[in-house]
Structure 1
């Protein structure tokens, strides 16, 4: 049986000298670098680029359904509604 050991590095200084530092509000484990002091989540959630957000929002505004967007792009309906609300606020300003 082969066991692979994964070593994580700091997101700022790339140092492997990190230790566990509790959890954030979402319940994800946080780690602190012993060299630079940065605290971060090692496996951050998916981040969408602005181009992806614009494509998804424009598809929704062209009469796409929330369920369809979820299936097509893998975006949660709550996330999509947040993006739509932000885009509408920016249009009114």
Structure 2
């Protein structure tokens, strides 16, 4: 078995997930992973759809149902978007004619 990040073979058993699958840890880079993981990262197309649905002001529960993501992941995604938005607005003076 190789580390998915650095391809090292220095792998040790590192407990279990809450689903009962064995967890492993790479001693070279510290990456933790599960062999044959069933959960995959959310695709960019799904993230773009979520962004569009958020602009339509749909409820988070509805967005989670439509896209198939968990409500917990969606809430963390929305919080991350919120903290990345700038909090100040720059206003420029308009030139007065006449």
| TM-score, normalised by the number of residues in structure 2 | 0.55
Could you list the structure 1 runs, at least 4 aligned residues long, displaced by more than 6 angstroms after superposition: 24-27
The 8 Å contact of residues 11 and 24 in structure 2, kept in 1 or not, is answered as yes
Number of paired residues? Answer: 84
Shift in CA distance, 38/91, structure 1 to aligned 2, threshold 3 Å: closer
Question: Is the CA contact (8 Å cut-off) linking 2:8 and 2:26 kept in structure 1?
Answer: no
The alignment yields a C-alpha RMSD, in angstroms, of 3.4
Distance 1:26 1:92 in 2: 38
- Say which one has the larger Rg: 2
Q: Within the alignment, does 1:76 sit opposite 2:70 as a pair?
A: yes
Which 5+ residue runs of structure 1 have no aligned equivalent?
1-7
Change (3 A) 1:26 1:39: farther
1:29-65 Cα offsets, whole Å, 9 max, x none, are 322458x575531227321134422321221230322
Q: TM-score, normalised by structure 1?
A: 0.57
The residue that corresponds to 1:62 in the other structure is 56
CA 1:18 to 1:69, structure 2 compared with 1: closer, same or farther past 3 Å? same
Q: Which runs of 5+ in 2 are unaligned?
A: 88-98
